[in-house]
Structure 1
Amino acid sequence: MGNKLVTFTEEQLEKYQDCTYFTRKDILRAFKRYRDVNPEVVPKQMTDKEPYTIRVPLESMEKLPELHENPFRKRICEVFSRNGSGNLTFEDFLDLLSAFSENAPRDVKVFYAFKIYDFDNDDYIGSSDLEQALKLITKQELTQEERQQIAEKVFEESDVDGDGKLSFMEFEHVITRAPDFISTFHIRI
């Protein structure tokens, strides 16, 4: 009989399985990825409160290969960190991976996509939110005027109630018509 290191208690693993779209094996694989990001901060064995108190800094999280090339990497970390800082606890990281997993339903993905685009956290996607998204997507290669034209066109086609911003329902209506949304809103662990 070997001395096997226990990363989580049975109760913790069951809780994570209930709250995510992952198996036990996936959860342990996610923990390994999380720990590899910053092994000086993350212990091999998580006790009581550590899964939701130890935070890996945003700067370290952004270096993950799955996030590194994503122009929204900082915003994704901010949305999934409970305090909005972008510094992620293991539970935050697990929530992030779960929402981006291939097993997450479309409505969960749409919900988080909306939150990611809602830069000012006002529960609407307004012109400033859209402009920020366009800057990230195009690596600031468009002029202010070009970004404005694109934003106007988006609102013209998507803003059903004409209030100059997209509600969650308007966003959901648009995004569900995008055939590649599910495949692009994905991170494999």
Structure 2
Amino acid sequence: MGTTTSHFTQDELQEYSDLTYFTKKEIVYVFKKFSELDPDLVSSDKYCRIPKEKICQMPEMKVNPFNDRICRVFSTSRNFDGSLSFEDFLDMMSAFSDQAPKSLKVEYAFKIYDFNEDDLLDAEDIEMVINRLTGSAEPLSEKEMDQLLKNIMNEADLDDDKQLSYAEFEHIISKSPDFLNSFRIRI
């Protein structure tokens, strides 16, 4: 563990701790997990970017139907490839941690579900969310999907504009106590 802590000064660890929901010890552990994704690359450059494909192979991410969207949302890459720097990875792990507040999890869930990235969840976005959640084994029929979308909009679209704003999404999520259980990664 001594070699991992030497990657950061005490000031860096303190700054990361101040900006996340992790202790210094947990940050060192998160860096270890990051390093395990591509040991050679990280050992030669701690500021490297790990490709999305490697991030998505983590056991915690592999089973998540939104793993590519998660990488996209947390990536600060200028070429929008979903690659993650350590700081991106740390932000992602912090937002998914048990210590992160529900409001932060809701904010990131909205971004992850907003496939067309227009700051609204329209029928197309919600259909993509449903398809990912239900899997590809038995897709819903067009009629079933239309009815489900209609039911969702009837319940959540408070201003009847056929799309969900962040406020409407936040309101509907507040009625779902199981949301926090499905939106986390344990370190």
Report the CA distance between 1:148 and its aligned residue: 2.4
Deviations 1:106-158 (A, max 9, x none): 11011001101111110000111011111111113222332222111101110
- The answer on 1:88 being equivalent to 2:77 is no
Report the CA distance between 1:20 and its aligned residue: 0.2
- 2-structure distance, mates of 1:44, 1:100: 28
Greater than 4 Å deviation, 4+ residue runs: none
- 1-structure distance, mates of 2:164, 2:45: 44
**Which stretch of the first structure deviates more once superposed, 131-140 or 71-80?**
131-140
Report the CA distance between 1:10 and its aligned residue: 1.4
- 1-structure distance, mates of 2:104, 2:160: 26
1:130 is matched with 126
1:60 is matched with 54
Secondary structure of 2:22's aligned partner: coil
Report the CA distance between 1:180 and its aligned residue: 0.8
Deviations 1:33-56 (A, max 9, x none): 11101112111773xxx2xxx110
- The answer on 1:102 being equivalent to 2:98 is yes
TM-score (norm 2): 0.92
Equivalent pair of 1:7/1:45 in contact (CA under 8 Å): no
Report the CA distance between 1:181 and its aligned residue: 1.0
- 1-structure distance, mates of 2:141, 2:52: 29
2:169 is matched with 171
Deviations 1:50-96 (A, max 9, x none): 2xxx1100110110000101111111111110134211110000000
Amino acid at match of 1:8: F
Equivalent pair of 1:124/1:168 in contact (CA under 8 Å): yes
- 1-structure distance, mates of 2:165, 2:115: 14
**Alignment root-mean-square deviation, CA:** 1.3
- 1-structure distance, mates of 2:71, 2:37: 14
- 1-structure distance, mates of 2:140, 2:9: 51
In terms of fraction of residues, the more helix-rich structure is 2
Report the CA distance between 1:7 and its aligned residue: 1.4
Where does the alignment leave 5 or more consecutive residues of structure 1 unmatched? none
- 1-structure distance, mates of 2:118, 2:88: 21
TM-score (norm 1): 0.91
Instruction: State how many pairs are aligned.
Output: 180
